[in-house]
Chains A and B, each alone.
Chain A
Amino acid sequence: MPWTTVQADKRPPAEPFGSNGGEREISYRSAIREALDQALELDPRVFLIGEGIDDPGGVFGTTAGLAATHGSKRVMDMPLAENGLTGVAAGAAMTGMRPVLIHMRVDFLPMAMDQIINHVAKWSYMTGGRTRVPLTMRAIIGRGWGSAAQHSQSLHSLFAHIPGLRVVMPATPHDAKGMLLGCIASGVPSLVIEHRWLYDRLGPVPEEPYTVPAGTGAILRKGDHVTLAGVSHMVVELLQAAEELAEHGINAEVLDLRSVRPLDEALLITSVRKTGRLVVADTGWRHCGISAEVAAVVAEHAWDRLKAPVRRICLADCPTPASPVLEQAYYPGVAEIVAAAGSLL
């Protein structure tokens, strides 16, 4: 299928995230693969399971070759049974293992809602902490090439509503590795949501294993005039928008929320209290989405410093269309962010 090999984002790659000129730079895709490789190497309790994860494609390259290195007992294909196998992975997690369950697409997670929401998320609490579920799930947001309504969803806000789950959305190669390792090491049910359009982006990634904890955001660019906050691929758009705004003398502060549950409220509040303005950009829809939660946190804790209304940049309120013309109308980007930020000043 063409969209498994084509880099859909045709724009020239931006500067590597956080480049300091010295460190090794690898792609987001390679960073994920390295994290899985190291987790398997470091912890005998870790195993990977997912549909086709041992095939030559290896989940867009993120599991390529891992079965050959670590064996079929630790990198296993599975039947097309998302709910059942989520339960299987959860049962293994409850009894001493550290599974990483991998879905090629976020859109497959709704098939596993019963196990994720009713079981995985609640087990520790409803057993009084006597049985924990150290399960990590990965799922990838698709976009473009007519992926349409069932191959492109960003459902993080749905999961972020549920107490007992951690939901992270790394935007940089550094965080892709560190957050995945952090989730596996945490012993807590975690959902790592990746974005296909980030896969080829380069950035500095330390070779040794390290963890980035859920619940911490990151400031990717300092500024005083407006806070631009977002998740996943929208962080790329925000950084580019900040460049454009700078040309107009507007210094934007760019926050990568990174984690939608827990949300780094302190980082967000501090930034907005400083700038007095907020544009929040989500890869998902507006209604009851993470952008609403971000706006609410700001309303509760930075109201007295706001100089302008909060602006939200989200998907159009419809399922994803297939035609490229409609796709273009559906996905907001740099232009919308720049316009929104400009309207606040």
Chain B
Amino acid sequence: MDIDRKRLLEIYRVLQRIRCFEERIVNLYPDQEMRTPVHLCLGQEGVAAGVCLHLRREDYIFSTHRSHGHCIAKGMPLESIAAELYGRVDGCARGRGGSMHLVDPRHGIPGSTAIVGGSIPLAVGAALSAHLQGNSRIAVAFFGDGASEEGSFHESLNFAALRRLPVIFVCENNFYATNSPLSARQPGVGIAEKGAAYGIPGQLVDGNDTLTVYHAAARAVARARSGQGPTLLECRTYRWKGHVGPQCDVEQGCRPRLELEEWKSRCPIAALRAKLCTDGTATDAELAMIEHEVATEVTTAFDFARQSAFPNPGSLLDNVE
């Protein structure tokens, strides 16, 4: 499948938007004005962009504690994310959710959960909803490698397969659950292979190759949209920062430095940039212009966030059902 120039530049813009937004968090976090635990996806941007660019505005995604990239790729306004990180009333959850509970129903994001594995059945439920309502929406569950150890993963795959629901399971395998390596937690059977137990096609994808993710997601979306049922994508990738916070955890001995450096040399954004320049899709100046525009957007978003008011303490009990 060929990807036209316009779409390639769109993919590049989304990757840059995620990267720039999260780098800004890293820069501003020491001010201690963002009082929320941030789980950054720097280095993993290719999965969010490669999957979400196939989705329609009304399609659903359910994400996790590491959700900034998914929500940005799904089209969520940066202002509402930034304001939520600052605990302000203009935040997407009006200052109730923080970094881990981004939400935007107008962009198909019913919410995000910080409990590992929690996003998976919720996405299946949204797919069931689409199925029962007879519309053509699909749902995507984003989750990490750790979630594939949870019962909810297996329960969800079983039910989605049973009902042939329009859902895509996207596992971002970054090889660590906090600091526990995958090899200490799983017996060496690939996560993609677990799909076979439920009759679900499972595909192993290089998550740092955005266009490979894009092609794999295209097939999964087509399957879901045409009523052929769920797909499981295991996208292998790597986070550049620690489990939580703006620091890298390599200094603390959480991960081998060489491992990080090797993955950093395979940066999904640098790789796509080089490809676009080399094959003549875009000039360096064109891509630099995109980077400049994105940086301006991000600056505007954070300025907006810091100028937004805090919620009224009198509204503390709002929306307790």
Contact = CB atoms under 8 A, between A and B. Distances in A.
Interface in B131-155: 132-133, 139, 151-152, 154-155
B96 interface: yes
A91 B129 contact: yes
Nearest to A84: B155
Interface string B104-145: 110000110101011011111111111011000001000000
Nearest to B165: A88
Interface stretch (B24-32, B87-95, B284-292): B87-95
B152 A83 contact: yes
A64 B288 CA distance: 66
B129 to A, nearest CB: 4
B156 interface: yes
A290 to B, nearest CB: 19
Interface residues of A, number: 42
A2 interface: no
Interface in A15-65: 47
Nearest to A94: B110
B318 interface: yes
A79 B122 CA distance: 16
A83 B115 contact: no
B96 A126 contact: yes
Given A91-B122, A95-B126, A123-B111, A84 B152 contact: yes
B82 to A, nearest CB: 15
Contacts of B156: 84, 87-88
A181 B26 CA distance: 50
B297 to A, nearest CB: 23
A59 B295 CA distance: 59
A269 B128 CA distance: 45
A131 B96 contact: no
Given A124-B321, A129-B319, A94 B159 contact: no
Interface string B13-30: 000000000000000000
Contacts of A188: 321
A293 interface: no
Contacts of B124: 84, 87-88, 91
A12 interface: no
B196 interface: no
Contact of B60 (A95, A97, A129): A95
Given A88-B124, A91-B110, A119-B115, 7 more contacts: A81-B159, A91-B126, A118-B115, A124-B321, A128-B96, A130-B103, A131-B105
